[in-house]
Amino acid sequence: MSGMGMDSGLAVQAMLAGMPMPADLSRAEVDGRVMIGVGSTVLFDYAAGDVGMRKLAAVTLPGLGFAARRVAEVLGLSEEYVSMLRARARREGSAALVDGRGRPGSLSRRQLTAARHAREAGESFRAIGRRLGVHATTVARALGRAEDAGGEAEDGSLAVQEPLAGSDVAGSDVAGEEPERAEPEAEASDAETETETETETETGATAVGVAALRGSARIATGVFVSRYGGAMLLFPFFDRVGTEAIFATLKGAPSRRYDDLMVLTAATLGFALGIDTVEGTKHLRRCAAGAALGARAIPELSTLRARLAALGDGSDPLVLQRAFAAGMVAFDPADDPVYFVDDHFVAYSGAAPVAKGWNTRRRHAEAGRDDTLLVDARGRAVVFSSAEPTGLSSTLPGVLAQLRTVIGEGAKILLGFDRGGAYPVTFRECRALGADWVTYRRAPLVDATATPRRSWTVRDGRRRTLTLADETIEINGYGTARQLTLYEADRPVLQVLTSDMAATGAYLVCWLRSRWRIENVFKYASAHNGIDSLADYRMDIGPDTRLVANPARAAARKTVTEAQTALAAAERALPQLLAGPTSPAHKNAELPGTHRRIETAKAELAAAEQALRPIPAKIAATDIDPDAKRARQRLQRRGLQMVLRLLAFNAEAWTAEHLDAYLTDPNEYRAILRHLLHLAATIRYTPTAITVTLDRPDTPRVARALTLLCQELTALAAHLPGDRRPLSYQIADTPVSTLTQHLPREV
């Protein structure tokens, strides 16, 4: 039998003599060297432990026409890892394939692991440093990077990773990063294929900590450490206002890893953490922020910018804001039907010919945009509008109509605004929409006809008494209104106009003097949520068709004024002549000339007035200068970001109010909550729940208030947007460690 087998083999060889070698990839390993060839041609020959040459082969072979799947099979890699290497090489060149870039760490991987275990056992940095032969600060700094990253990479990634049952652990070559599906002749997105960490084993294979969910960046199970864990305190508010359902109405570009809901939530979380613009997300540790979001990492900046732009182009920001406002009012209505509205000018320093407006802070006109914001009695942003700079009397009706849409037709409204909107046209719009209004009188104080009397109201649990003269007046172009004159030390100090005839005068005056609430919204939303930031540089530049003052009419009016001055001078000359010391004969001689000058001046004045009448007061700017241009900002993208910023602001305000119920610090509770958003936490994801364990603050009263707040938020059984597992909150038993205090804050 063996002889027959040998004869058959020889016969086959004879039959195949002269045929070409197969053109498929092949791999052979001899004496510790790996050879990759095609037929009899060797393309790569490298040591078995040379990871760099293996990466170079993985990048080069697909470019020669070999399928990525076959290349991955021959090299012993996954198809996703090959796709990731190709994208990295396209983006960063050959340097992206070289490991060990940058300054080496002070501690080896083995020392770092030993230090972490010793720290978990309760040893001090000094004791650990003495054992390892380094300074205690070196240990604290190394553990600060590793513990905050949750692993060996300095990127804020996993702390403890638990593989999913039944998942293909061997199918992914990058820890904590979702694999991208390789497609023939398709360029993988740089943002979606970027990998944060990569650990090579002795055999050259990449170690895997957790199996990635196919087609999704969401976390299934695992334990993560995030320096932004405190930001998860905002998710109960997001859940209550219906963030998931509202965001679902937006449709953006197709995606493989980050759906629209995660992109929008990531941007909102960034604004809550204090970034001014979307570009500020590059200062966040991606995996640390992702763990607080329910993802292995937040989208890369290029992905986030492009996806938000696509979502903004297809959205109506005002509809979104009204939906959020309706959800907020439905689950947590304000006690008083009082609202404040005001304009907020945002300067523009670019070169585009943007329309100009009055900057009240710098006291002069300059290019910019105008946002009109309406807030409720608790200082929460309800609706907004954005347009070219105009007056409050022009923008107020629009936001008032939005408010009526949010709260319904029959709801009572008392709208407070400053003198910028105190015009009859504004009063008429409020009356048409069924809203009462209260504002300051524009003109100088007038004498009150009513006798001053004492009026009182209750504010913040305290009785407040004012001396007011309450009377009814007539406003030209509007009708009957109520005027309140406030007296202090028996002298009138201000006058208030209102359409509310039923409320007490003290009630109305106290609410109007509480306009600082909307000023605080502008102040803090600008400083902490970036509402003044320019979100989109795109503008439409076209002919300036605005109606501007007609210079021809100004010149004609000047002529009329000069004619009136000449007529007045001629008419004065007549009585001066008659009353003068000259003789009657001289007067009689001068009278005909004086009368002629008067008649001539009258004729010139009539001619000037006749020439003035047909000249329009305003004409298009292009009629004056045919080359006049005007830049009009595209507001969809910026409007969407404005909605996300206001959502973050309202979530912070709501959470701070609930914290202050236990903290009872009305002066500092907002600042304390803002710091707590950056509190580190350990986040455990299980198949049925998500548990957030926040580091205990060092201040006992803050720790107590946070404990009670965590119990309240846990009872709400809220969930992350797009994740149905309930959230529960707790704080650690021990205060924040010295390690956490040394952690740098990017935001």
**What's the pLDDT tens digit per position in 303-359?**
899 899 889 988 899 999 999 999 999 999 988 999 999 998 888 888 888 888 888
Helix (H) or strand (E) holding 719: none
pLDDT digits (tens, 9 = 90+) for 688-739: 999 999 999 999 999 999 999 999 999 999 999 989 999 999 999 876 544 3
**630 Cβ contact list (under 8 Å, min separation 6):** 353, 354, 355, 541, 542, 543, 544, 545, 546, 621
Please tell me the distance from the alpha carbon of residue 554 to that of residue 551, in angstroms, as a whole number.
Answer: 5
pLDDT for 188 beyond 70: no
pLDDT for 130 beyond 50: yes
| More confidently predicted of 410 and 697 | 697
Q: Return the pLDDT at 104.
A: 60
Contact 694, 290 (CB under 8 A): no
Contact 456, 435 (CB under 8 A): no
| Structural tokens at position 666 | 């009305």
Task: Please indicate, yes or no, whether the overall pTM of this predicted structure exceeds 0.85.
Answer: no
Least confident of 212-216, 413-417, 583-587, 597-601: 212-216
**54 Cβ contact list (under 8 Å, min separation 6):** 34, 46, 75, 77, 204
| More confidently predicted of 740 and 140 | 140
pLDDT for 113 beyond 90: no
Mean pLDDT for the stretch of residues 610-639 = 88
Q: pLDDT grade, residue 22 (50/70/90)?
A: low
pLDDT for 147 beyond 50: no
Return the percentage of the chain with pLDDT > 70, whole number: 84
pLDDT digits (tens, 9 = 90+) for 629-654: 888 888 888 899 999 999 999 999 99
Q: pLDDT grade, residue 178 (50/70/90)?
A: very low
Q: Return the pLDDT at 391.
A: 85
Contact 87, 184 (CB under 8 A): no
pLDDT digits (tens, 9 = 90+) for 440-457: 998 788 999 999 999 999
Q: pLDDT grade, residue 216 (50/70/90)?
A: low
| Structural tokens at position 404 | 């009526």
Please tell me the distance from the alpha carbon of residue 344 to that of residue 62, in angstroms, as a whole number.
Answer: 55
pLDDT for 404 beyond 80: yes
Q: Return the pLDDT at 545.
A: 82
3-state secondary structure of 484: strand
Q: Return the pLDDT at 349.
A: 83
Q: Return the pLDDT at 217.
A: 80
pLDDT for 480 beyond 90: yes
- Looking at every residue in the chain, the average pLDDT score rounds to 82
pLDDT for 684 beyond 50: yes
- Give 274-332 as a 3 state SS string: CCCCHHHHHHCCHHHHHHHHCECCCCCHHHHHHHHHHHHHCCCHHHHHHHHHHHHHHHC
Phi, psi of 91 (to 5 degrees): -80, -40
pLDDT for 158 beyond 60: no
β-strands 479-488, 462-475 pairing: antiparallel
Q: pLDDT grade, residue 162 (50/70/90)?
A: very low
Please tell me the distance from the alpha carbon of residue 225 to that of residue 739, in angstroms, as a whole number.
Answer: 13
The distance in angstroms from the start CA to the end CA of the chain is 79
Q: Return the pLDDT at 469.
A: 94
Which residue, among 425, 155, 180, has the nearest Cα to 283 in the 3D structure?
A: 155
Please tell me the distance from the alpha carbon of residue 499 to that of residue 207, in angstroms, as a whole number.
Answer: 72
| Structural tokens at position 52 | 């760099």
Angle 182-185-189 from CA coordinates, rounded to 5°: 60
Q: Return the pLDDT at 105.
A: 64
CA-to-CA separations, 570 to 59, 538, 595, in angstroms, rounded = 96, 60, 8
**Region for residue 166 given its phi and psi (left: phi exceeds 0; alpha: psi -120 to 50; beta: otherwise):** left
Q: Return the pLDDT at 179.
A: 34
Q: Return the pLDDT at 76.
A: 83
Q: Return the pLDDT at 163.
A: 32
Query: What are 385's strand-pairing partners?
Result: 372
Helix (H) or strand (E) holding 492: strand 491-498
Mean pLDDT for the stretch of residues 274-278 = 91
Mean pLDDT for the stretch of residues 491-502 = 94
CA-to-CA separations, 304 to 80, 214, 297, in angstroms, rounded = 22, 20, 12
Q: Return the pLDDT at 239.
A: 95
Alpha helices of 93-201 — where are they, by DSSP H?
Answer: 109-120, 125-132, 136-149, 190-193
Label residue 46 exposed, middle or buried (CB < 10 Å: 0-12, 13-18, 19+). Answer: middle
